[in-house]
Amino acid sequence: MVKTWSSQDQGETSCPKCGAVYKVTVQRFPVRDNDYHDCNVCGHRMASWNDTHVPSYTLIRDPEKESPAG
């Protein structure tokens, strides 16, 4: 397992296709990572990277599971 150098909270972001909301944390690694993140709800490609700063996405609101207000 690769040791991280640091971790930083980057706030929240949402999927432009379905509106799912994610908490984003960026970890800094000593080597580059080439990967991507697809939305857990709809599969839309939200981000890709080839960098030592690697985002991690945690789903915090799934619009498909929320009941409509009324």
pTM for this structure? Answer: 0.82
pLDDT reported for residue 67 = 56
Distance CA 38, CA 66 (A): 20
- Residue-wise pLDDT for 8-62, tens only, equals 999 999 999 999 999 999 999 999 999 999 999 999 999 999 999 999 999 999 9
Distance CA 65, CA 63 (A): 5
